Structure 1
Amino acid sequence: MVSPSARVVRLLALMAAVPTVALGGLAMLSQDSKHVLAHGPLISDHAEVACDACHVESAGSIRQQIQAQLHYALGSRATAVDFGYQEVTSKACLACHARPNERHPIYRFQEPRFAQAVQMVDARSCLGCHSEHSEQVVHSAVGVCQACHEGIKVKNDPIDIKHEILIEQKKWESCLGCHDFHGNHAIKAPLHIAEAISAEVIRQYFLGGPDPYGEEKLYEARTE
């Protein structure tokens, strides 16, 4: 039950926010203004992607959304609503990027056995590692593989410095030097650690630098 004082605070905050949000929502109806209003730059591969490919309009008119928020502020509605556009979720990412060869599908990390791992990196959502309107492509540490693979055992290990030794030495930043996290780049893991991509090159890629795994993909993202 919402207390009377909490209702007043909600209502005052809403009254202050409504004009700004309403004007912003109207501005976003203009195609020309959408990129101007964006919170930051698009990553290079998304340069030609329309805003509404990810930002889906909220249900109802602006008037109905304001009414719903007023009811929420007054305690007669259990949940708030989004003004103008819905929150972007993994569903928007997977609409273009779902593919059968995904090595780390986000649904897998919903399993209880990964409860500790997701404390290090929340792989239950695409947004745990990626966000748009930022020059940084990946928001995680280069040694992210440690979250799940400390106990890995590789039979007939083909590389010159065995995985067991690399794990013992905590060389977690070497993993992505041989392996593409999502498994969609058309590359073959090297057999010699000296041929692996350096951790610094991977780090620069995360920050928005060139893709060290190459441009050839096994499955291209959907474009329509």
Structure 2
Amino acid sequence: MSSSELVLGDAHVAADFRTFTARARANGDGAMRLQASGTVLAAYVCTLSAAALGESTPTVLGLRTMPLAEQASVDITVGLGSVADRLARLRDDTVFTVPTVPVTENWAGVLPPRSGWVQAGTVSTTLLEEAAHSGIRKVAELIPDRAGAPVVNSARGAVWGQPLPGVPAGLPAGAAFGALSLGFLVPGEASALFTSGRWTRLSTSRGHILVRTAAVL
């Protein structure tokens, strides 16, 4: 039976959950997939994805895992707005009421594996920060005033789909954007890089960025 409430580990965990949700909403009022198993909550959000078939924008997900004070079982994709609303109204500072209205998102239907990851190296925080800021500037330069959605999506794909120079596993620049926008980059801490099939994972002490490459036909 799915749990209707999640008891977060403590008030600090609740604060981290609020921050993660707020940062995700800054990228667009999208969705979050909540998966709770035992005493661990995994919260997935999408920072980048292709808007149409054939676009080169990679699918970039952010994952934050958080401890729970009580056993729970949850697996639902819900709106970020509903998550933020319930985080603003926690009972006893830690009891989170799971939203009941699911939403449908293409990215949420295919999540990365939990095992089978192979380490492929590390990436410096400085490189990722520079790549993210450079990409943001390039996207802004490529998008004219009053540009339509196709132009915006094409610009985003051209910039964020490019592999980062000198980084193993063909990690796209979009991973750097995801890590920066979600606050996962830690000064002085290198990010660990892992691969598993079509997935690449960039991990820091603050969270994980997961990138799925397109299938080769």
TM-score, structure 1 as length reference: 0.25
* Rg larger for: 1
Query: Larger helix proportion, structure 1 or 2?
Result: 1
Query: Larger strand proportion, structure 1 or 2?
Result: 2
Which protein has greater RCO, CA pairs closer than 8 Å, 6+ apart? 2
TM-score, structure 2 as length reference: 0.26
